Structure 1
């Protein structure tokens, strides 16, 4: 496998002098990931047109990243190849987000795609153009809750020229959801009770963003980002994080998040989101509490299909409907302290209220309880194998109740 991949990379560089592409080859990396994903969402409504979404699929992802050529401006290329295969599904249980769905309502037996990314590096700044797997950003967090990650087309610049300062800027023009091989126009997520109305088509030609984060010291970090989904909305996002070491194996972390979104031409978007989080860590234990509030004429606005960067974003709900107030309690435990390295657990509960259900009705309520257990095998034979079980229970007076279970078995292996 190593020989085949290195030959392919060398072929890309045949027109460059050996001294130029030495680092292009020596700094290259390769990774293979296998993901077996079982998804079961029960709407607890046997009379509904679709009372359950239940599918099982196998995914493969090959990621190759070159180094950079030598010189003032280094050149490189990344390749991402992905494929998914149906193991179990039926027309009455599709739309889990794991597999593409045909017009007949049945899931595709398989799907796949290849993405290429050109990259340039000068000093401590890197520009990527083409297929983008975005890092987590306060205003855009890719959806990774499926068999394959959400992908974007566009250009992304990250600069770290100044110590402790990271700057990000870019333009995204298209999105490829995790269960699709087709790139589509960008849009805004509307949600069930977010009251977001789009005049005309829910489509945009570009999503532009710029901003950055600064570490004032080892304990305090602040960030600010401006983003705009052309013709749909603009947003200002800011956050402050503070970590305070209390004593050995003890620390206190607090975080404040703010986001202000307004109409950018063809919507009624008007939302202010405020969130506060505090966690206390003591050895293998961590306790977290959070509060989140929405105000304005609509709920939280984000790219359609992407995750919300909110303190109360859960497995199913983001508690970001119009006028919603919510609180969260969470507990994490690392079983290494009990002699079981690789095993970890967290459980959390959030309750939301004051959701706008229509004219004169602000009695919308919802709650969600999540349990998440992960085990990374320590045995050398099964090294790099990880099993994750995720279970959620959601109850609401404005949406259908659900019980959801996800079982994910993944395997990652560096190729050289």
Structure 2
């Protein structure tokens, strides 16, 4: 087990919570506890092409992610505690290569920090099939999703209740008030995502004291699932989100999946948010092959609104670099995936996609255009001394006609290995 202050802190906190529970109720609490340590090595290289300022960002770092999830005490009301210990260590950065755009390591604008860490604790209570969690959270739903696409994940602070009392129905509600970004050890107030504000057209954004969400998912049939969420970033926006997913089995190893998404966002006092976002993705799967076509359309006075910082919006065309969510933007996606297990090479996967967007305004009033191409290749070792070691290469190319500083070539190399501790 990793002998670092952050690891020891998580272990002591979890032990303290265990000792605080009456002995007679500890059996399930301990027996159902799960703990793991993920070692994540991350190399990030971003070439800004024609940017007259910083030409590239290049960083290499090692991450340690210790996760502890306890069971629940016995009885009609069960209590438990989860813990998350995060440590990031710089391996290489500097010489003009550091920049906030990589979001791999924190820094002072010119130099990356040597290391950074965080300890998150979550108390939880279970009654029947409902679980309430309070403390450090990593929500993943249509309203808000904390990102985990860099060295360390983003973490939020608040409370979340998930209930499965009714068969095929999941209810989900929560309150969040702080966000700790991926390359940070500090919690910050929430605000609206205002990147590229000149194109999104959102004005009046302010820091918010709270983010509320309420929604759920219902499985209408074994092949058809529908979801709805309402969310509110205080003083910034209100949003209704609908999702319909249908999987049509055609024959053995062959299916057609349809994913439809619609979100309506309006202002909540201080901003001018007014957006309708429609997205559709149709994927045909045959043996190890998957062929997908996607379409996304923005309408209204502004672009799509979502929580700022390291939050992933629920959009069909939100991908490695861009979200294609500018005011009035229309975008298409073509995607291909292949799982090499279908030809006898388990653990090896491949993905490539191309997205093209247009119909939004540039600063001078002319039409804006952008495109992005992504390629992912990943392999998980299946046996031997390296079993379960995962290696992933992610490549992206992004071009547009609105800003020289956002024409990007990017490569990420991620090596990860998870060690079960209990």
Pair in the same fold by TM > 0.5: yes
Question: d(CA) in 1 for partners of 2:320 and 2:306?
Answer: 17
- What is the deviation of 1:276? 0.9
Q: Quick check: 1:272–1:294 contact (8 Å CA) kept in 2? A: yes
Point out the more displaced range, 54-63 or 94-103: 94-103
Aligned residue for 2:157, secondary structure, equals: strand
Q: Aligned-pair distance for 1:12? A: 2.8
- Aligned residue number for residue 283 of structure 2: 279
RMSD: 1.7
- 1:314-356 deviation digits (Å, cap 9, x = unpaired): 1111111110000000000011123211000010001001012
Equivalent residues in 2 for 1:125-144 (5 A)?
125-134=130-139, 136-144=140-148
In 1: Cα distance, 2:190 partner to 2:13 partner = 34
Residue 11 of structure 1: CA displacement?
A: 4.2
Count of aligned pairs: 410
Any idea what SS the aligned residue of 1:13 has?
A: helix
Within the alignment, does 1:171 sit opposite 2:198 as a pair?
A: no
Query: Which residue number corresponds to residue 404 of structure 1?
Result: 410
* Residue 48 in structure 1 maps to residue 21 in structure 2: no
Aligned mates of 1:7, 1:268 — CA distance in 2? 48
Kept in 1: contact 2:391–2:414 (CA 8 A): yes
Measure, in 2, the Cα distance between the counterparts of 1:178 and 1:268.
Answer: 29
Which range moved further: 212-221 or 19-28? 19-28
Is contact 1:384–1:413 with CA below 8 Å preserved after alignment? no
The answer (yes or no) to whether the contact 1:35–1:411 under 8 Å persists in 2 is yes
Distance in 2 separating the partners of 1:260 and 1:15: 46
Unaligned runs of 5+ in 1: none
Aligned to 2:44: 39
Give the counterpart of 1:27 among 18, 28, 32: 32
C-alpha displacement at 1:307, in angstroms? 1.1
The within-5 A match list for 1:42-81 is: 42-45=47-50, 48-81=52-85
Residue of structure 1 equivalent to 2:342: 337
Give me the whole-angstrom Cα distance separating, in 2, the residues matched to 1:221 and 1:113.
37
Kindly provide the CA deviation profile for residues 60-111 of structure 1, in whole angstroms up to 9, marking residues without a partner as x: 01011111111111100011000001111115222210100125x2110001
Note closer, same or farther for the CA distance 1:207–1:196 as it changes in structure 2 (3 Å cut).
farther
Q: Which of these residues, 384, 390, 393, is aligned with residue 386 of structure 1?
A: 390
Alignment partner, residue 242 of structure 1: 246
| 2:14–2:82 contact (8 Å) kept in structure 1 | no
Q: Distance in 2 between the 1:277 and 1:59 partners?
A: 34
Is the Cα contact below 8 Å between 1:211 and 1:226 reproduced in 2? yes
- Cα deviations across residues 142-170 of structure 1 (Å, max 9, x unaligned)? 21121111100000110000000000000
> 1:257-309 CA distances to partner (integer Å, 9 max, x unpaired)?
00011110111111000011100000010000010100011111111021111
Partner of 1:289: 293
For 1:412 and 1:191, how far apart are their aligned partners in 2? 34
Q: How far has the Cα of 1:7 moved from its partner?
A: 8.4
1:260 aligns with 2:277: no
Q: Against the structure 1 CA distance between its residues 381 and 274, is the aligned structure 2 distance closer, same or farther, given a 3 Å change threshold?
A: same
Deviation at 1:19, TM superposition (A): 2.0
Q: Please give the per-residue CA displacement for 1:17-67, whole angstroms capped at 9, x wherever unaligned.
A: 32212111111000100100011110102x622111111110001011111
Relative to structure 1, is the Cα distance of residues 19 and 292 closer, same or farther in structure 2, using a 3 angstrom cutoff? Answer: same
Work out the CA distance in 1 between the residues paired with 2:223 and 2:371. Answer: 33
Partner of 1:181: 185
